[in-house]
Amino acid sequence: MPRNDSLEMGELTDTSFYILLSLVDAKHGYLIMKSIESMTDNRLSIGPASMYTSIKKLLSAGLIQLLKDEDEKRKTYVATEKGIQLLRKDVERRREMVRHAEEILKNRGV
Amino acid sequence: MEETKFIFSGGLAFSEERDMMKLSAYAKKGWALESFAPLGYKLRRSDPQNIIYSIDYQKGADDEYFEFFEAAEWKHVCSIGNEIHVFSAPEGTKPIYSDKSTEIEKYEREKKQMGKSALAFLIFTVLFILLKVMSLTGWLPRAAGIISLILGIVSLIILVFSGLPYLAYQYRLSQLRKL
């Protein structure tokens, strides 16, 4: 396994973070990319190869799951309980990062 | 007038980007990639187009895989053994990998596969050389020695053709991980 695998360290990359976030509500795979683009005002657009790799990874880590649904052609995913928990933890981690930065920058009067 | 043309690949492990740029330059001149060919690519005469090419490795790619590319306006051009896939898109389209950690995985997968075959053929090569030595010392009949030598050379060739790409991927990964 890759040495810098952040998922195994319990951290989400920006890509996984946004995929998981957009899967709090179930979505067709191809709609995830679109929803992330509109969520971030096109600042983040996930390439198709990165998307496919990330989905497979989140699936095998049990952070998202495939929904059995009527439309058998297109796959629908949703975040699992474990996925939501990790998302919460990661939001906390990111909040910390922002807090640290704000404190230091404020002290310098920037 | 010729309708198809063949161009050599520099070996995907070594010159992926150069190969893709070369294909893009040919597309501008009116030669579009049609398929893979032994040791290179087969091009077909077309209207000149401003397109870029990208390659991805994905074993057993399913409908969803190609759907993601289509949604991002990357057109599937050709594949080998449902493992190596080439896509094309208008110049300026966003790249197929948008973050480093997934791109690292692309090359990790290839490196692992090359490493496995390199290791297997390293063992075969050593084994056949041992057999050859045994025949020289008279432990094995001469005929067995000759066969071992031939098999040993064949294994060595395969070892080189998987060992060098393995090292190339290793180098590429170390470059990707630098930052």
- How high is the ipTM of this complex? 0.86
Low-confidence stretches of chain B (pLDDT beneath 70): none
With CA atoms as reference, the chain B residue closest to A3 would be B177
Average confidence (pLDDT) over A45-58:
95
Distance CA A23, CA B99 (A): 19
Q: So what's the pLDDT on residue A29?
A: 84
* Assigned token pair, B28: 């501008």
Task: Report CB contact under 8 Å: B72, A47.
Answer: yes
* Mutation site for B-interface testing, chosen from A7, A17, A44, A50 by largest number of B Cβ within 10 Å: A50
B95: chain A residues, CB-CB within 8 Å: 47
* Assigned token pair, B156: 């060595």
pLDDT digits (tens, 9 = 90+) for B66-98: 999 999 999 999 999 999 999 999 999 999 999
pLDDT digits (tens, 9 = 90+) for B145-154: 999 999 999 9
What is the pTM for the complete model shown?
A: 0.87
List the one residue out of B25, B24, B33, B28 whose CA is nearest residue B4: B33
Q: So what's the pLDDT on residue B2?
A: 82
Task: Report CB contact under 8 Å: B177, A15.
Answer: no
Angle formed at CA B156 by CA B150 and CA B162, multiple of 5 degrees: 140
CA distance A97 to chain B (A): 20
Number of helices (H), then strands (E), in chain A = 4, 3
Task: Report CB contact under 8 Å: B67, A29.
Answer: yes
Q: So what's the pLDDT on residue A17?
A: 96
Task: Report CB contact under 8 Å: B71, A54.
Answer: no
Mean residue pLDDT across chain B? 94
Confidence of residue A109 (pLDDT cuts 50, 70, 90): confident
- The pLDDT of residue A5 is above 70: no
Q: So what's the pLDDT on residue A71?
A: 64
